[in-house]
């Protein structure tokens, strides 16, 4: 059995993190844009003047929060209205329909949480990670 050669440390200097106009590193500012959802996204979108990365992630945070609020509210109203309407036909059927819509809402909530965490990880890594559909809007709106 042959031993692998020892791993040698790289002599290259580590990459220097670029700063945003907020004074923070771009990756930290991009991560913070997601931390408090649309509030921090809006703050970083308004304050940031130079970094495309920070502005993109700030706008994507705003859009992601907007989708969460709109779809979550629609699911809640749909569950309530359909539950009442179907409940007049049959109490059991109304309950079952409300449970199914509630489970759909739970899946939506989990998907939004996973998207939020994934965006924060990718932002901290300094990547322009675009969510399907939402990322295209964020890219369009974040350009100067």
pLDDT, one tens digit per residue, over 20-78 is 889 999 999 999 999 999 999 999 999 999 999 999 999 999 999 999 999 999 988 98
> What global pTM score does this model have?
0.82
**Spatial contact of 40 and 32, defined as CB atoms under 8 Å apart:** yes
Distance CA 67, CA 123 (A): 19
What pairs with residue 19 in β-bridges?
Answer: 25
Average predicted confidence (pLDDT) for the chain: 87
Residue 108 CB burial class (10 angstroms; 0-12, 13-18, ≥19): middle
């Amino acid at each position: 059995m042959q031993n692998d050669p020892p791993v040698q440390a790289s002599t290259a200097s580590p990459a220097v993190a670029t700063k945003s106009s907020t004074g923070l590193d771009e990756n930290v500012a991009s991560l913070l844009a997601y931390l408090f959802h649309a509030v921090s996204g809006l703050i970083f979108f308004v304050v940031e003047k130079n970094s495309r990365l920070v502005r993109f992630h700030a706008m994507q945070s705003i859009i992601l929060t907007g989708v969460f609020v709109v779809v979550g509210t629609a699911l809640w109203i749909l569950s309530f209205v359909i539950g009442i309407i179907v409940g007049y036909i049959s109490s059991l059927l109304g309950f079952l329909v409300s449970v199914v819509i509630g489970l759909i809402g739970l899946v939506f909530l989990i998907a939004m949480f996973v998207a939020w965490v994934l965006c924060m990880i990718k932002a901290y890594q300094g990547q322009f990670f675009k969510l399907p559909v939402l990322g295209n809007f964020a890219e369009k709106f974040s350009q100067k």
